[in-house]
Amino acid sequence: MKRIAILTSGGDAPGMNAAIRAVVRTGTFHGLTMFGVNRGFHGLMYHDFIKLTVNSVGDIIHRGGTILRTSRSKEFRNAHMRMRAKEALDYFGIDVLFVIGGNGSLRGGYELAATGVNIIGIPASIDNDIPGTDKAIGFDTAVNTVLEAINRIRDTATSHERIFIIEVMGRESGQIALAAGLAGGAESILVPELPFDIDDVVKRINSGIARGKLHSIILVAEGCCSAIQLGKKIEKMSRQETRVTVLGHTQRGGTPTAADRILASRMGSYAVEMFLAGHTNQMIGAAGPELVMVDLQDVVDGSCEFDREIYQLARILSI
């Protein structure tokens, strides 16, 4: 009887639990033995395994976070510790390790595969910046969390006739800022992928005021610039009262949206089916409505293209 182990690693993303549930239930359906690894690669190195059953994953599809918990392990970068992780998998007789996480986690899986471990990756990242997939688990929920905040802040921004700068997550990726900014009607969207001109930002604010606009919403990805410093500059240049809201880790938590639950369920189940069909050392990817297999080598060597067309659309619609 084949054995599957599952771990979640790196930053948590809403929908991870739905993916765990799908893997366990699909594996159980096919008569496989299922294990979970607590605390990501750290737990793997220190033999922190638990048995997973259908009952273990009951009542979790709606929960954010991950029941297996997660961590960022610097130790795992050491080749000796990766061999220790392999030995743990061998000890438990694991045939394949499912790694659920973002770029760092998938790179960790790729490096572990070099020791002879069979790996299947499932992309989960609120940043949606993983090569080889159009969508990562957790992105839709994070965008909707930001959108809800924009809607609330817009109410008070209008009441007080203020400029609001909203900082969202994204050290190297502006995907959350772009999607939430377009959906929320932000006047300006600032992302790490593109340079910005503060004079242009202020010009758009003043243009709106001249037309009788009562407020402005500026969405800033954290990797673009300091929202607090930007707020001070904009207030000085525009002479308009400006406030800054940093959404922080609220974007990671909360019940996953229907879209994320469905994506996670599809990816988790598909991962098991692909393993049984003989696929390993690959990641599940979404290509439009279809699920595909992507070599881990291509994932770690690849990059994501920023959607300039959507960015331009957001600029046009925010006049």
**pLDDT tens digit string along 108-123?**
999 999 999 999 999 9
Helix (H) or strand (E) holding 106: helix 103-113
CA distance 234 to 34: 54
pLDDT tens digits, residue range 163-191?
999 999 999 999 999 999 999 999 999 99
User: Which pair of tokens denotes residue 134?
Assistant: 């159009």
Question: Tokens 């800033």 belong to which residue?
Answer: 220
Give the pLDDT of residue 72: 87
pLDDT of 73 over the 90 cut: no
pLDDT for 154 equals 96
In single-letter form, the type of residue at position 246 comes to V
CATH 3.40.30.10, domain 3-138+256-301, yes or no: no
Domains 3-138+256-301 and 140-252 fall in the same CATH topology = yes
Q: Which residue has the tokens 């390993």?
A: 280
Catalytic residue ranges: 127
Question: Any idea where the domains of the chain sit in the sequence?
Answer: 3-138+256-301, 140-252
- Beta strand pairing status for 290-295 and 282-287? antiparallel
Q: Taking residues 203-219, report their average pLDDT.
A: 93
For the chain, report the end-to-end CA distance as a whole number of angstroms. Answer: 61
121, 267 contact by CB (below 8 A): no
* AA letter at 1: M
Q: What is the pLDDT averaged over residues 13-32?
A: 99
- CA separation for the pair 102, 137 (Å, rounded): 9
d(C-alpha 71, C-alpha 52), whole Å? 20
101: helix, strand or coil: strand
pTM of the model: 0.96
Beta bridge partners of 137: 124
From residue 69, alpha-carbon distances to 8, 205, 209, 240 in Å are: 7, 43, 48, 44
Q: Which fold has domain 140-252?
A: Rossmann fold (3.40.50)
Give residue-wise pLDDT tens across range 26-62: 999 999 999 999 999 999 999 999 999 999 999 999 9
- In the predicted structure, residue 103 carries a pLDDT above the cut 90: yes
Helix, strand and coil in the chain, % to nearest 5: 45, 20, 35
